């Protein structure tokens, strides 16, 4: 992916020779005053170059008009103006050194760094749940990792103990390390960079993990191999071309998060319809050339949940076109999107402000201005040869390569202990050439398993009866997804992962269904667990229940239930709750879900001795 451990050395060198690069230039900002350390105020001068790294600041790429808006914008905008996020890794190294030598403690770290700016290094302080410990989010383009990386994740988190030291596979086909302390972060960052991975620009106002097709290169129904494009886009947004270090300042001051997904087949495993940019593979109707229709603006949030809209754009499936189109949209988004109301700062609002055709015209003009010979065409008709049934990712399936199989393994709610990470690494070394693929359903796939070795793989202890990892999971437990929830997330209204795992097992023991039923859990309306695309979505929310002792109704942890979201070609978001105010208590929620499974999905009471799959 165009990056090697070399970059770390350069970054460290840049950090230590920082003064040589100091060059603070005042901008045309008028009437803006304040301190550079407070979250609530923008500085009087805007740094063009970060003193310590010599890298240009994210803000230095913004036009004056956008800086003026940011200066009058929300507290996060002011924090970004006050101190550059793309050089925040230097703060991590400096804080860590001081904490290690005993000259400071983690709670003396500047608040704006602790809770905001370190997010540019992918470090999210879990201040409400585990003060002093961070979640570190990585970037895993196309969700492809290897055995060495899996073992490294295990080594990084193990010291934080069974409860806190875990690894999560996320709903963006990505990895999060938990429990991380600042003093350990430099070694983790260096270790990641030495393994061609990074955590930089994976959170806050950054372009998030590039989601691609988990079956890229191994599937006979593939239309486009997404790997090259995910890697190229990952480099576009997070590799600094000047210093060859991770963290690209050009995109270091975006108005909001930005999601890109590239689909490789009609299954749309990447969920293009809920990403800011979604690339949908479709051949040009006249020339037959393979390319992508561009859908825009899909997102989920507390304020609004929106399905992507057709932008009437098509580009050929080549690296230059994909990178140039994305760069053009990102440039327009960066400079023109909302900087005051964070709820309105997602791409959809900007597209609506323009109108679809005018937005297309602006993007086309921008693309042409780069002079790379890239052409933006009109959207192409989708295939009409009948409906397409999205295929399963779990279990054993033939690949396009003769004699090879892909084996999808359930990781319940994406949560892995260090031992389970190592188990997967061992399986990968033994059966899949060390390669592991992550899915947005928070599971893993081992590709390229010799058909002749599948039996042996299925007999491995780490996939046995007592293991959480399973190849032949039931239709319900195998399709349960869950966001982080209250164990670590300060925004959560309820605990999610442990309930999701327990209740899916319970449901599996009570009913039989004849197809995968996707049950998604999300702890609050931000919908990181994407409840609106689920067959059944469970979102944390208020509920009341009778207190047997007092005889009074009292507030209890509860949920809203959504039913009927669809993914794939026939995507549809379930926007309105099916039921609200349902207590989370198992004796209430389980019967409720059983009813929904029976009424809406044809579930039958389980017959003794008969399993659904």
Binding to ligand SF4 by CB under 6 A, coded x per residue (else -) over 141-170, reads ------------------------------
Q: Hey, which residues between 467 and 486 contact ligand SF4 (CB under 6 A)?
A: 483-485
Round to whole Å and give the CA distance between 249 and 43.
19
Is 528 considered catalytic here?
Answer: yes
The interface with ligand SF4 within residues 494-523 (CB under 6 A) comprises 522-523
Q: Which is nearer to ligand SF4, 202 or 231 (CB)?
A: 202
Does residue 280 sit in helix, strand or coil? strand
> Which of 284, 526, 556, 569 lies at the binding interface for ligand SF4 (CB under 6 A)?
526
Separation between Cα atoms, residue 511 and residue 432, nearest integer Å: 34
- H or E segment and range at residue 437: strand 435-438
- Of 166 and 325, nearer to ligand SF4 (C-beta) is 166
Q: Is 257 in the site for ligand SRM (CB under 6 A)?
A: yes
Q: Is 523 a catalytic residue?
A: yes
Q: Using an 8 Å Cβ cutoff, are 139 and 209 in contact?
A: yes
257 part of the active site: yes
In the list ligand SRM, ligand SF4, none, the entry touching 135 (Cβ below 5 to 8 angstroms by class) is ligand SRM
- If one asks whether residue 209 binds ligand SF4 (CB under 6 A), the answer comes out as no
Q: Which of 301, 448, 462, 472 binds ligand SRM (CB under 6 A)?
A: 301
Nearer to ligand SRM, 377 or 568 (CB): 568
> What sign results for the dihedral spanned by CA atoms 159, 160, 161, 166?
negative
Tell me which H or E stretch contains 403.
Answer: none
* Closest to 225 (Cα-Cα) out of 296, 141, 158, 149: 141
CB 469 within 8 A of CB 462: yes
559 is an active site residue: no
Beta strands at 167-169 and 144-146: parallel, antiparallel or unpaired: unpaired
Site string for ligand SRM, 496-535 (x = CB under 6 A): ------------------------------xxx-x-----
Residue 237 binds: one of ligand SF4, ligand SRM, none (C-beta under 5 to 8 A by kind): none
The item of ligand SF4, ligand SRM, none sharing an interface with residue 104, based on CB under 5 to 8 Å by kind, is none
Q: Which does 299 bind (CB under 5 to 8 A by kind): ligand SRM, ligand SF4, none?
A: ligand SRM
How far apart, in whole angstroms, are the C-alpha atoms of residue 313 and residue 377?
Answer: 6
Q: Whose Cβ is closer to ligand SF4: residue 142's or residue 527's? A: 527
Please report which helix (H) or strand (E) contains residue 500, including its range: helix 497-510
Residue 396 engages ligand SRM in binding (rule: CB under 6 A): no
Residue 126: name the closest of 173, 88, 164 by CA: 164
Measured distance CA(395)–CA(141) in Å, rounded: 23
1 interacts with ligand SRM by CB under 6 A: no
Residues 263-322 binding ligand SF4 (CB under 6 A) are none
Sign of CA dihedral 536, 542, 544, 545: positive
For helices 319-336 and 356-369, angle between their N-to-C axes, nearest 10 degrees: 120
Residues 6+ apart with CB under 8 A from 420: 411, 462, 468, 469
Closest by CA to 255, choosing from 384, 348, 186, 134, is: 348
Catalytic residue among 408, 474, 529, 568: 529
Q: Active-site positions?
A: 137, 256-257, 523, 528-529
Q: What is the contact surface with ligand SF4 in residues (CB under 6 A)?
A: 483-485, 489, 491-492, 522-524, 526-529
Q: What is the contact surface with ligand SRM in residues (CB under 6 A)?
A: 124, 126, 135, 137, 168, 170-172, 174, 176, 208-209, 257, 259, 274, 299-301, 346, 483-484, 488-491, 526-528, 530
């Amino acid at each position: 992916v165009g990056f090697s451990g070399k970059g770390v050395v350069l970054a460290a060198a840049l950090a230590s020779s920082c003064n040589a690069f100091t060059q603070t230039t005042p901008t045309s900002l008028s009437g803006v005053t304040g301190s550079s350390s407070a979250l609530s105020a923008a500085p009087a001068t805007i740094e063009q170059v970060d003193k310590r790294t010599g890298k240009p600041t994210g803000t230095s790429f913004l036009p004056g008009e956008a800086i003026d808006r940011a200066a009058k914008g929300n507290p996060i905008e002011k924090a970004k103006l006050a101190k550059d996020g793309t050089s925040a890794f230097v703060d991590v190294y400096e804080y860590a050194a001081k904490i290690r030598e005993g000259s400071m403690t983690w709670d003396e770290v500047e608040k704006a760094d602790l809770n905001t700016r370190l997010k540019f290094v992918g470090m999210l302080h879990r201040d409400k749940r585990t003060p002093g410990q961070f979640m570190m989010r990585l970037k895993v383009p196309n969700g492809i990792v290897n055995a060495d990386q899996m073992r490294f994740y295990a080594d990084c988190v193990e010291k934080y103990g069974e409860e806190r030291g875990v690894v999560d596979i996320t709903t963006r086909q990505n990895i999060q390390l938990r429990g991380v302390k600042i003093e350990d972060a430099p070694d983790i960052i260096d270790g990641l960079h030495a393994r061609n991975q990074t955590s930089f620009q994976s959170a806050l106002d950054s372009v998030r993990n590039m989601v691609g097709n988990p079956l890229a290169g191994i599937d006979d129904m593939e239309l486009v191999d997404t790997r090259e494009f995910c890697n190229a886009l990952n480099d576009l947004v997070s590799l600094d071309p000047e210093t060859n270090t991770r963290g690209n300042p050009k995109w270091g001051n975006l108005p909001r998060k930005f999601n890109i997904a590239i689909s490789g087949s009609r299954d749309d495993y990447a969920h293009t319809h809920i990403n800011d940019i979604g690339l949908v593979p479709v051949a040009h109707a006249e020339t037959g050339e393979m390319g992508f229709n561009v859908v825009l603006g899909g997102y989920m949030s507390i304020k609004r949940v929106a399905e992507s809209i057709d932008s009437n754009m098509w580009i050929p499936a080549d690296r230059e076109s994909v990178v140039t189109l994305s760069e053009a949209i990102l440039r327009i988004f960066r400079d023109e999107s909302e900087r005051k109301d964070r709820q309105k700062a997602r791409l959809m609002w900007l597209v609506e402000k323009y109108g679809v055709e005018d937005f297309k015209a602006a993007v086309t003009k921008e693309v042409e201005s780069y002079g790379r010979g890239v052409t933006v065409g009109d959207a192409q008709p989708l295939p009409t040869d009948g409906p397409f049934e999205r295929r399963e990712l779990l279990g054993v399936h033939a690949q396009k390569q003769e004699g090879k199989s892909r084996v999808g393994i359930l990781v319940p709610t994406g949560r892995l202990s260090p031992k389970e990470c190592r188990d997967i690494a061992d399986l990968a070394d033994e059966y899949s050439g060390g390669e592991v693929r992550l899915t947005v359903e928070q599971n893993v796939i081992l590709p390229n398993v010799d058909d002749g070795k599948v039996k042996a793989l299925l007999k491995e202890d780490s996939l046995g009866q007592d293991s959480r990892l399973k190849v032949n999971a039931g239709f319900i437990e195998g399709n349960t997804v869950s966001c982080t929830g209250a164990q670590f997330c300060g925004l959560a209204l309820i605990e999610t992962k442990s309930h999701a795992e327990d209740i899916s097992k319970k449901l599996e023991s009570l009913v039989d269904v004849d197809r995968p039923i996707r049950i998604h859990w999300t702890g609050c309306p931000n919908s990181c667990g994407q409840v609106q695309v689920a067959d059944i979505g469970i979102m944390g929310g208020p509920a009341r229940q009778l207190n047997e002792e007092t005889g009074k109704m009292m507030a209890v942890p509860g949920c809203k239930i959504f039913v009927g979201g669809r993914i794939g070609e026939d995507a549809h978001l379930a926007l309105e709750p099916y039921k609200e105010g349902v207590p989370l208590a198992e004796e209430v929620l389980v019967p409720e879900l059983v009813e929904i499974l029976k009424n809406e999905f044809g579930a039958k009471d389980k017959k003794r001795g008969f399993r659904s799959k």
